[in-house]
């Protein structure tokens, strides 16, 4: 597997320190806002400069917020790192050349909404035997609108797209999926941008309809053309395109 996709599968001191640093940065931003807001409210409520007691109270509130926010984000960061461990282990495995495909599978990155307002991001690979989907990350915001670009690089990497054993393992992780060719009735597409994406680049949708009647509606991220994505999927799977 390409070195750019490798990382340690065990939490180390550097990762813990990075998680703490990120948590402290967020906590600091929140705390400064709390301190400024609390101080201004105290001053404006009496139309005078804050007294020492008011300032001490504002500092105490700020410290309390910092501790709480730091703890929550630090734990969140550690949990995220721990959940990434199985993925890292798969990406670090060396697949024998004899097990690599001669040709590349078609890969692309999509987002899917669930529970009305939440979202999840998949790296999807289309092969003759079916459609593989690895849940690369859970709910994201538009704080980093190009967050998916490293995933796009992975979906197009020559080593990754030939490594069917790794793709199968990634699709088998929690939240992933595999739809055998026989279970896919049709694939359709449209170029209507998804509303409410907060500036995250997307070009339309690809809908996968299963023989069971259920559907998956994927938002195509980046500048990929949905019709071309659809055509590549149908060519790989040999399934129909609805009229």
Domain boundary among 57, 92, 127: 92
User: Is the same domain home to 102 and 122?
Assistant: yes
Residue 185 lies in a domain: yes
142-193 tens-digit pLDDT: 878 999 999 999 999 999 999 999 999 999 999 999 999 999 999 999 999 9
pLDDT, residue 49, reads 54
pLDDT, residue 239, reads 76
pLDDT, residue 3, reads 42
**Does pLDDT of 34 surpass 50?**
yes
189-241 tens-digit pLDDT: 999 999 989 899 999 999 999 999 999 999 999 999 999 999 999 999 987 66
Residue 11 main-chain phi, psi, to 5 deg = -70, 130
Task: Look up the CATH number of the domain holding residue 230.
Answer: 2.30.29.30
User: Is the same domain home to 126 and 208?
Assistant: yes
Range of the domain at 32: 3-92
The greatest distance separating any two alpha carbons of the chain, rounded to the nearest whole angstrom, comes to: 78
User: Is the same domain home to 229 and 111?
Assistant: yes
User: Is the same domain home to 202 and 124?
Assistant: yes
User: Is the same domain home to 80 and 187?
Assistant: no
Number of structural domains (the chain) is: 2
User: Is the same domain home to 85 and 118?
Assistant: no
Residue 242 lies in a domain: no
User: Is the same domain home to 88 and 106?
Assistant: no
User: Is the same domain home to 80 and 136?
Assistant: no
Domain boundary among 68, 92, 116: 92
């Amino acid at each position: 597997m390409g070195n750019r996709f490798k990382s340690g599968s065990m939490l180390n001191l550097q990762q813990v320190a990075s998680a703490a640093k990120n948590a402290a940065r967020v906590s600091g931003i929140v705390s400064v806002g709390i301190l400024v807001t609390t101080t201004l409210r105290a001053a404006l409520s009496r139309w005078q400069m804050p007294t020492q007691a008011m300032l001490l109270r504002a500092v105490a509130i700020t410290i309390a917020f910092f501790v709480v926010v730091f703890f929550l984000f630090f734990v969140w960061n550690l949990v995220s790192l721990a959940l990434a461990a199985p993925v890292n282990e798969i990406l670090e495995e060396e697949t024998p050349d004899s097990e690599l495909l001669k040709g590349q599978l078609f890969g692309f990155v999509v987002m899917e909404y669930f529970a009305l307002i939440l979202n999840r991001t998949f790296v999807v690979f289309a092969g003759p035997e079916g459609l593989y989907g690895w849940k690369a990350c859970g709910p994201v915001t538009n704080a980093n609108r190009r967050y998916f670009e490293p995933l796009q690089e992975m979906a197009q990497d020559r080593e990754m797209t030939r490594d069917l054993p790794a793709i199968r393992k990634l699709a088998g992780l929690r939240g992933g999926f595999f739809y055998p060719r026989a279970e896919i009735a049709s694939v359709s597409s449209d170029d209507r941008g998804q509303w409410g994406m907060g500036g995250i680049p997307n070009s339309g949708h690809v809908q996968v309809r299963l023989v069971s009647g259920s559907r998956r509606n994927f938002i195509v991220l980046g500048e990929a053309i949905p019709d071309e994505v659809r055509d590549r999927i149908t060519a790989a799977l040999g399934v129909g395109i609805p009229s």
